[in-house]
C-alpha cells in the first residue's frame, strides 16, 4: 500500500520536500547540540525542562485525542466515524513519533537510552511513559494498517484487529494519565502537585486532538477526492466543545483552590505566569484570549455547526492548549525554583530549529499515512 505515497501531485511533492528540508535543518541543529551539549538550549539548572518536554506533553495529548473517533465508533457503534477512524489512528502515530523524538532530543546522553531497558526502575514514571507510548504507537500502526488493507481488498477486517481496537481505547487514556503522573507526583513543585492534573490533561487532549483532526479532515477534503464527511466533522466539533469546556472548568477549579485557600505556594505560579514581569505573561494572556474566543464559538451550537466558524474555533483551541500545555505547564512548574526565586526561560534558536525538525518528522509521517489512507478510500469509491 505504501506505493500510494509515491504517486502524488506537484503540491504533494512540494510539501514533502519542504518537510524533508525542515527535517534536514533540524538535524543539522541537533548535531550542534550533540557536539556542544544542551548548553545550546535556553534551559538551565532551574528550568531544567523546557520547550522539548512541553512539546512532548502537548503531543501526547494529540495522540490520546485520536481516541475520540475510535471510542464512539467501537463502543457506541457510531457508524459515521468508521469513515475517519483511520485518520485518528494515523494522527496518533505521527504524534507519538513526535513525542518520542522530543524525549530523545532532550536527553543529555542519547546512546544510554538503552539503559532504560537494561536497568529499568519500575518506580519511575518515565519508564512507564516510555512503555505506554511505544505500545500505543504500535497499536495504532497495526490497527490502522490492517483496517486499511481490509478496506482496500473490500473484505471486513479480522477479529483480532477489533480486539486490539478495544485495547487501544483505555490505552489512549493511559498514555496521557501516565504523562500527567510525570508531573503531579513530584513533591515541592506547587504548580504540578495537583490531583486534577491527569483530568486536565485528558480534557485538553480531547479538545486539542480532535481540533487538529478537524483541520486535517478539512485539508484532506480539499486536496484529495476523499471527503471525511460533514456529519463526522460536526460530531467532532461537538466533542471539541465539550472537552474544551471541561478543560476550562478544570482550570477554574485550580484557580479557586489556589486563590480561595490563599496558600502562597499555590498562588505564586499563577501570579508569575499572568502578572508581574515574567516573560511568559504575554503568552499566557494570548492563550486566555484564544480560550475565550474558542469557548464562545464552540458553546453556541449554531455557530460551531458552520464549518468556517468551527475552523476558527479549532485553531483557537489549538493555540490556547498549545501555549498552556506545551509551554506554560512545564516552564511554569519549574520557573519558581526550590528557593522560591523566579527564573526566566525562553527557548533559543537552535532549540526551536530542532523542534521544527521534530515536528516536520511527525507531519511527514502523518502526510504519508494520510496519503495512503485517502488514496485507498478514493479507490474504494468512498
Partner 1 sequence: MGMDRRRFLKIAGLGTMMGFGGKAAFELLAPGAVEASLKDLPLTHAKKWGMVVDMRKMTHEILVACQEACHLPHNIPDWGDPRVEIKWNWSDTYEHTFPGMENAYMDEHFLEKDFFVLCNHCDNPPCCRVCPTKATWKREDGVVMMDLHRCIGCRFCMAACPFGARSFNWGDPRKAPPDLNPGFPTNPDYPTRSKGVVEKCNFCAERIAVGEYPYCVEAANQLKEGTLIFGDLDDPNSDVREALRSHYTIRRKAELGTGPNIYYIVS
* Residues at the contact surface with partner 1, assessed by CB under 8 A: 36-39, 41, 43-46, 48-49, 103, 106-110, 112-113, 115-116, 118-121, 123-127, 130, 182-183, 186-189, 264-265, 333-334, 337-341, 343
CB of 314 to partner 1, least distance (A): 32
Q: Yes or no: say if 43 and 50 are a contact pair by the CB < 8 Å rule.
A: yes
Please give the DSSP secondary-structure letter assigned to residue 342. B
Residue closer to partner 1 by CB (options 338, 381) is 338
CB of 374 to partner 1, least distance (A): 38
CB of 272 to partner 1, least distance (A): 14
Residue closer to partner 1 by CB (options 4, 190) is 190
CB of 224 to partner 1, least distance (A): 40
CB of 126 to partner 1, least distance (A): 4
Residue closer to partner 1 by CB (options 146, 348) is 348
Residues 6+ apart with CB under 8 A from 249: none
CA distance 8 to 318: 29
- Cα 313–chain centre separation: 17
Residue closer to partner 1 by CB (options 288, 337) is 337
CB of 108 to partner 1, least distance (A): 2
Cell numbers that stand for 311 in this block: 475552523
CB of 16 to partner 1, least distance (A): 33
CA distance 340 to 265: 9
Residue closer to partner 1 by CB (options 24, 120) is 120
Residue closer to partner 1 by CB (options 188, 308) is 188
Residue closer to partner 1 by CB (options 145, 183) is 183
Q: Which of 156, 24, 16, 143 is nearest to 87 (CA)?
A: 143
CB of 339 to partner 1, least distance (A): 4
CA distance 379 to 209: 27
Residue closer to partner 1 by CB (options 189, 325) is 189
Task: Indicate the burial class of 135 (C-beta count within 10 angstroms; 0-12, 13-18, 19 or more).
Answer: middle
Cell numbers that stand for 79 in this block: 457508524
Q: What is the DSSP string of 68-129?
A: HHHHHHHHS--GGGGGTHHHHHHHHHHHHHHHHHHHHHH-SSGGGGGHHHHS--TT-HHHHH
* DSSP SS3 for 185: coil
Amino acid at each position: 500500500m505504501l506505493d500510494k505515497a509515491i504517486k502524488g501531485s506537484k503540491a504533494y511533492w512540494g510539501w514533502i520536500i519542504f518537510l524533508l528540508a525542515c527535517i534536514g535543518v533540524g538535524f543539522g541543529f541537533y548535531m550542534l547540540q550533540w557536539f556542544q551539549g544542551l548548553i545550546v538550549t535556553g534551559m538551565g539548572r532551574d528550568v531544567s525542562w523546557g520547550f522539548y518536554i512541553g512539546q512532548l506533553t502537548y503531543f501526547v495529548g494529540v495522540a490520546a485525542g485520536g481516541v475520540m473517533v475510535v471510542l464512539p465508533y467501537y463502543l457506541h457503534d457510531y457508524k459515521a466515524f468508521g469513515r475517519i477512524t483511520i485518520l485518528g489512528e494515523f494522527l496518533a502515530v505521527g504524534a507519538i513519533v513526535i513525542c518520542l523524538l522530543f524525549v530523545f532530543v532532550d536527553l543529555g546522553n542519547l546512546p544510554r537510552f538503552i539503559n532504560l531497558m537494561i536497568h529499568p526502575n519500575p518506580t519511575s514514571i518515565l519508564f512507564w511513559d516510555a512503555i505506554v507510548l511505544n505500545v500505543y504507537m504500535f497499536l495504532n500502526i497495526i490497527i490502522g494498517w490492517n483496517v486499511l488493507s481490509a478496506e482496500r481488498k473490500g473484505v471486513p477486517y479480522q477479529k483480532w484487529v477489533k480486539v486490539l481496537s478495544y485495547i487501544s481505547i483505555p490505552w489512549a487514556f493511559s498514555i496521557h494519565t501516565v504523562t500527567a503522573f510525570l508531573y503531579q507526583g513530584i513533591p515541592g513543585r506547587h504548580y504540578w502537585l495537583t490531583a486534577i492534573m491527569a483530568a486536565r490533561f485528558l480534557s485538553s487532549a480531547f479538545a486539542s486532538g480532535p481540533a487538529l483532526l478537524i483541520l486535517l479532515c478539512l485539508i484532506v477534503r480539499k486536496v484529495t477526492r476523499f471527503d471525511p464527511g460533514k456529519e463526522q466533522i460536526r460530531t467532532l466539533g461537538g466533542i471539541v466543545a465539550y472537552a474544551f469546556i471541561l478543560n476550562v472548568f478544570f482550570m477554574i477549579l485550580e484557580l479557586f483552590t489556589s486563590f480561595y485557600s490563599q496558600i502562597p505556594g499555590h498562588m505564586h505560579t499563577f501570579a508569575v505566569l499572568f502578572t508581574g514581569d515574567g516573560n511568559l505573561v504575554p503568552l499566557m494572556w494570548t492563550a486566555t484570549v484564544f480560550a475565550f474566543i474558542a469557548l464562545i464559538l464552540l458553546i453556541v451550537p449554531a455557530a460551531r455547526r458552520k464549518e468556517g466558524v468551527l475552523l476558527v474555533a479549532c485553531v483557537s483551541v489549538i493555540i490556547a492548549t498549545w501555549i498552556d500545555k506545551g509551554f506554560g505547564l512545564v516552564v511554569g512548574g519549574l520557573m519558581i525554583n526550590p528557593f522560591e526565586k523566579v527564573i526566566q526561560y525562553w527557548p533559543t534558536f537552535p532549540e526551536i530549529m530542532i523542534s521544527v525538525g521534530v515536528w516536520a518528522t511527525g507531519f511527514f509521517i502523518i502526510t504519508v499515512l494520510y496519503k495512503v489512507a485517502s488514496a485507498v478510500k478514493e479507490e474504494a469509491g468512498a
